[in-house]
Every structure is written in C-alpha cells, then in structure tokens.
Amino acid sequence: MPERLRWGLLSTGHINRSVIPPLRASQRNELAAVASRDGERARAYAREWDIPRAFDSYEALLADPDIDVVYVSLPNSLHAPWAIRAAQAGKHVLCEKPMGQTAAQVDEIAAAATGAGVVVAEAFMYRHHLQTLKVKELVDGGAIGKVRLIRGSFSFQIADEGNVRLNAALGGGSIWDVGCYPISYTRYLLGQEPVEVFGRQTTGVHGVDEMFAGQMRFNGDAAGQFDCGFRVPHRQHFEVVGSEGTISVPVPFQPATRAQIWLTHGDAEPEAIDISSPELYAGEIEDMADCILTGKAPRVSYADSRGNAAAIVALLTSAKEGKPVNL
C-alpha cells in the first residue's frame, strides 16, 4: 500500500470540484488522474485542474496499477455499473449517491467489493459533518424524548432543460438527486427502515419527477415527511420533533464549517448550538482513507445504501400507483 492513496476521477462531472480541494488538502490522499470518454476533454480538464494524468477512457484508468481509489461521479444510472467494474479491477471506490437505483444493484456492488477485497462507499457527504453527528447524538441521548415526527425539504431551480438531472434515461429525477437526503437523514436518526411509504410526484415533460412529496411510517409510530424538487427556489431545512422537544437544522444537507442548530425543550426558548467542522466534503475523503488504511468500516454501510435505494423505489412505486406501499 502506498504512503498516499492515489485517486482517479471517473468523469469530468461538475461535482468533482467539491472533492478536488479536500483531496489536495489531505495528508493521506492525492489526486493523480482523470478519465473521460473524450480524450481531449480529459486532457483539457487535467490542465484546468492541474491533474498529473489524463485517460481517454474509463477502462484505461481502471487498468492502471498506479490508481488506488476511484471516485465515480457519472450520471446516476452509471453509478452501479462502473462501481462494479472498478471494484472488479481491484480499485477502492467512492461512489456518488445514489450508489445504486435498486437494492439489487447495491447488493451487486457489495458482492463485487467483497470478492475483490476492496472498499466501496456511497458519497453522502452530509453524513460525515459534525453537525449531523451532533443531531444523532442528541436524538440518541433522549434530548427531545421519543421521536414522533421528522420533516425535511430540499429543492432548487433548474434553468437548463438539458441538465442531466432531467434525463430519465440517465436516472434523473428530484427524489434521486435531492429527496434522497431527507430520506437518508430520517432513516439514520431513527436507525430503522420505513415499513410503509406514500408518495406523490409532479412529472415534467422530460419524464422524471420534478417535484416530489412523500411520507414514511416507521415502527414505533414515528413518521417522516419530506418534499423535494427542481421547479421551486432553493430550500433546505430539517426538523426532528420529539415527545419533549424539537431540533431544528436550518442547513442540514450542505452545512458550512461553522454551523448552527436549535434545540427546544417544551415551551422554553430555543437554544442555539454552534458546531465547527472540517470542510463538508473532507469527511468522506478521510473516511475512505480510514477504511482502506486502517480497516475501519465505512460510515455509510452497504445496508444503509441498500435501505435508501429500497425506500426511494417504494416511494416512486407509490406515486405511480397512487397508493401506499409496504416494505
């Protein structure tokens, strides 16, 4: 194992610009290469971002023995196929969310990773931020009593009708892009999977959900509600309502290095809790290094990724059929 893990970017996707700075700042990782199906595009991207090597195909990057870790930042429908191919090539993989768009796809990735003896983890960056860990600590510690209701929202406007998020063939849709966050957060805090879901969506001309609202019922009578979309202004908020208080998270999914949450007990005035954390995307980079170099289990497990995919598929099925779906 090299002293520093050498990373290759599988595509020139926009999200890369979020992981490049923490890779550059890390003591245990380095950015070594980028690949594109267009060789000139790969070389131009490498020049723009000062990346040492450029490959004119994804296959060429996976075949290179000097690459230890691959970051899969392709469109949603290509995440699972290329995560599997990367694992089979002996590469560790940080795969953008969603890792798979069915539970079966996540199972296939897990099997490929286990067979090759490599780490594959889903890149849910918010899960590594100290704000998220603090909310989990408060909930598990009984700070608001028994959780009764969790509500989350995440939306933004898409102006470019050619945006890949609107492409049905590439796994687009608002629930896969932003709705996945409140679904994941709710499941994480409750530590269980929903037993029943109900969803409603607004389908645009591109054939994907452009707005989605859903409900999830959990054992113990806890309920989750969320909404997401591409056709309303940018919004994100998260609230956890317990039998004895509430936790309000103004910026739950893209928190800054200095964040703030609000804890309320009964009818008392809300208490602000300030949180300082490393840069948002640094957590998933360092978690991968921990997993590869020390054998630590990924913070986002295969079971977690599988559960999120299963919940989203059930919600989409519910929206299509117009009735609740049991899991």
Q: For the chain, which residues make up each domain, given as ranges?
A: 5-124, 127-281+309-326
- Alpha-carbon distance of 101 to 261, in angstroms, equals 31
In CATH, 5-124 is 3.40.50.1390: no
CB atoms within 10 A of CB 44: 14
- Alpha-carbon distance of 305 to 117, in angstroms, equals 19
Q: For residue 25, give the H/E element and its range.
A: helix 16-25
Tokens standing for residue 15:
């999200």
With tokens 């360092």, the residue in question is 286
Continuous H helices in 26-146: 39-49, 58-63, 79-88, 103-116, 130-140
- Alpha-carbon distance of 216 to 212, in angstroms, equals 13
Coil, strand or helix at 289? helix
pLDDT score at 1: 63
Contact 327, 311 (CB under 8 A): yes
Per-residue pLDDT in tens (0 to 9) along the chain, 327 residues? 667 999 999 999 999 999 999 999 999 999 999 999 999 999 999 999 999 999 999 999 999 999 999 999 999 999 999 999 999 999 999 999 999 999 999 999 999 999 999 999 999 999 999 999 999 999 999 999 999 999 999 999 999 999 999 999 999 999 999 999 999 999 999 999 999 999 999 999 999 999 999 999 999 989 999 999 999 999 999 999 999 999 999 999 999 999 999 999 988 999 999 999 999 999 999 999 999 999 999 999 999 999 999 999 999 999 999 999 999
Judge if 5-124 and 127-281+309-326 fold alike in CATH terms: no
Q: What class, spelled out in words, does domain 127-281+309-326 have in CATH?
A: alpha beta
Residue type, 114: T
Q: For residue 11, give the H/E element and its range.
A: none
